[in-house]
Structure 1
Amino acid sequence: MEKYDNLEKIGEGTYGKVYKATDKATGRLVALKKMHLEIGDQGIPPTTLREISLLKMLYMSIYVVHLLSVELTEKTSNSKPVLFLVFEHLDTDLKKYMDSRRCSPVSKSLSPSRIQSFLYQLCMGVFHCHRHGVLHRDLKPQNLLLDQRRGILKIADFGLGRALIFPPKSYTPGVVTLCYRALEILLGSTHYSFGVDMWSVGCIFGVSDSSFLSFRLNIISLNHAADAVIFIPRICGTPTEEVRPGVTSLRDWHAYPQWKPRNLGLAAPSLEPDGVDLLSKMLKYNPAERTSAKEALDHPYFRSLDKSQF
């Protein structure tokens, strides 16, 4: 690691530790993701290779974090080789940014224009992923990095990402952080597509608006899938065969009380009608009716946004 200076640990997750460092050759700040892996006879694990390949494929979008290089340290007699993914460094993530705003004595929430800008950029990044056939499967505020100086949002952490293939294969339902997980995955579906990412985008949209208080407080406190399977119908109404064909045949389906869908406009009074409409389209039970990233970008909610900046 003689190429880098001033290593400082800034995070740690399931797949490894993240360090902030300076590239000695360029003076550029970078983020080094130290991967937890066992390099055996078969080489680097396929999950790691998959993440690297997805990041390389999506490199052309400014709304996806840039992988600058991959560094593999040499094996010595005392240690195993270590793999580092070298990323551009960004100031913070959306969760930390929202938390800091809520703790500020000056401003306790994101402004409607800032929410609009961040959501548009998120949809731009998701659209770029989807049109390249990539499903992220873990969109949440912690995985959205921010360049605060330029006001740019970037999607990060493709550890659970997959490139969709045809014919479609079955996938594990154990993906997406619980409180951003689409109903079809909560009910055990193993055949899903881009709609699961758009459900997560809708949840992120909901928690970013401080006026959507009941949604925000409930969604971030979910600890078990059973809680989420009850909470979502209480907000969006009881799922039925009419609104979501095939729902009663999903593995984890069971009979629910009959709840009517709430008026999201009453739950989020500061959100304008176009915003309420977009949110409701992102939280459709039927993935075939759920708005796509491309459709979201053309929604009237973004009509007032100056798109020239993007």
Structure 2
Amino acid sequence: MNYVQLEKLGEGTYATVYKGRSRTTNEIVALKEIHLDAEEGTPSTAIREISLMKELKHVNIVRLHDVIHTETKLVLIFEYCEQDLKKYMDQHGERGALDPNTVRSFMYQLLKGTAFCHENQVLHRDLKPQNLLINRKGELKLGDFGLARAFGVPVNTFSNEVVTLWYRAPDVLLGSRTYSTSIDVWSCGCIFAEMISGLPLFRGRDNNDQLLHIMRIIGTPSQQTFDKMAKDSPEIQIKQFPRYPKQDLRQAVPKASPHAIDLLERLLKFDPAERISAAEALSHPYFTSAASNNTFTVGSMAPPAFTFPHPHGLPPPQQQQQAFSRPPNFIANPVAVHQLHAAQQQQQAQAAMGGGYGGVPMHYNTSFGHNPR
């Protein structure tokens, strides 16, 4: 194999993830070694993940470099990212809450990656902070496509056993199996609120409790809305719910700006047909207004670039380019924002990163046992 294993990053029942290095380019990578069953062979979820990720090439999606397949093992070679978003929030946030500039940067990149998936007819189906990777340049990338599915028109019937509970859309919680891109949009809204406040917005214990948490904040839908959703997805099971009035989202996410609140409300519509698309969200005033753009500068100058120490040299120049489009003055490196806003935290941040590779990325999906459609 043209890769050297450096250290184990995580292990599950069906796969083990190692940090590795390319013998030819010296590039640091993540090696995801999938355990093959002698009788069952390669898990179908692994085949699905490989087939999708070989087609999804975008700066905001973790890159699958290579696949090595032998009689005894299957190894997926991914680009290496230092942290997932959850660890980043824990280490750099104020009680988990990120500063407005960083939230806007990460949210823009999350929506770019999600919109690209949807343009290519792919549902991620498991967006959450633990599955979003952050590299040393402050780029956010969608990872863990183990539950992802391609979709077509008409929409196929899918499993409703998808998406981690706290980020699961209400239509899926109600039993929908004919969902589409809107389930990823709902997850983006949940992640958006969590980056602003530092806490998950809806923290239910099970499907029913999760629905109640959602209704307590965005209100119980009208019977007309329920009936419409059931018509759109006949498998949805409607029952009697308490009548909760709609809460002002500013009470649930008090640190959010007016533009952020408006975008949140558009992402978190109970009826999936009413949710804004990821592509539409990128044109929201939260990103495009003059007020939003001005917050990307500190004084009259943009923050300088900040890079994590890299013991194996910098990546090739083409990898250092910012390949995604952004509003004017958009800062692609939120770590630089932290350096200016809290210079005293710089040494702590570097130490927390362990020289740039301290985060243990459990986001490469080591569990292939569950196989939803």
Structure 2 unmatched ranges of 5 or more: 294-325, 333-373
CA drift at 1:191: 0.8
When structure 1 is superposed on structure 2, of 93-102 and 116-125 the one drifting more is 93-102
The one-letter code matched in structure 2 to 1:21 is: G
Correspondent of 1:271 among 256, 271, 282: 256
When structure 1 is superposed on structure 2, of 290-299 and 245-254 the one drifting more is 245-254
The structure with higher relative contact order (CA 8 Å, sep 6+) is 2
- Aligned mates of 2:225, 2:271 — CA distance in 1: 6
Does 1:260 pair with 2:259? Answer: no
- Aligned mates of 1:110, 1:227 — CA distance in 2: 28
- Aligned mates of 2:193, 2:16 — CA distance in 1: 30
On the 8 A contact 2:123/2:181 being kept in 1, the answer is: yes
What CA RMSD, in Å, does the superposition of the two structures yield over aligned residues?
A: 2.1
The one-letter code matched in structure 2 to 1:99 is: D
**Deviation per CA, 1:116-175, whole angstroms, max 9, x where unpaired?**
000000000001000000000000001100013x11000011111111023322111000
The one-letter code matched in structure 2 to 1:174 is: E
- Aligned mates of 1:70, 1:33 — CA distance in 2: 10
Aligned partner of 1:227 in structure 2 is: 209
Correspondent of 2:150 among 151, 163, 179: 163
The one-letter code matched in structure 1 to 2:97 is: S
Work out the percentage of aligned pairs sharing the same amino acid. 44
The one-letter code matched in structure 1 to 2:228 is: G
CA drift at 1:115: 0.2
1:43-82 paired onto structure 2 within 5 Å: 44-59=42-57, 61-73=58-70, 75=71, 81-82=72-73
- Aligned mates of 1:117, 1:206 — CA distance in 2: 14
Paired residues, number: 292
Aligned partner of 1:193 in structure 2 is: 180
- Aligned mates of 1:57, 1:269 — CA distance in 2: 40
TM (normalized to structure 1)? 0.87
The one-letter code matched in structure 1 to 2:8 is: K
**Deviation per CA, 1:73-103, whole angstroms, max 9, x where unpaired?**
3x4xxxxx1101000101100001011124x
- Aligned mates of 1:136, 1:147 — CA distance in 2: 20
Correspondent of 2:92 among 74, 82, 101: 101
CA drift at 1:12: 3.5
Structure 1 unmatched ranges of 5 or more: 76-80
Does 1:307 pair with 2:327? Answer: yes
The one-letter code matched in structure 2 to 1:24 is: R
- Aligned mates of 1:24, 1:289 — CA distance in 2: 50
On the 8 A contact 1:247/1:253 being kept in 2, the answer is: no
**Deviation per CA, 1:228-269, whole angstroms, max 9, x where unpaired?**
021111111112233454346654432011101110023222
Does 1:84 pair with 2:75? Answer: yes
TM (normalized to structure 2)? 0.73
Does 1:110 pair with 2:98? Answer: yes
- Aligned mates of 2:5, 2:160 — CA distance in 1: 40
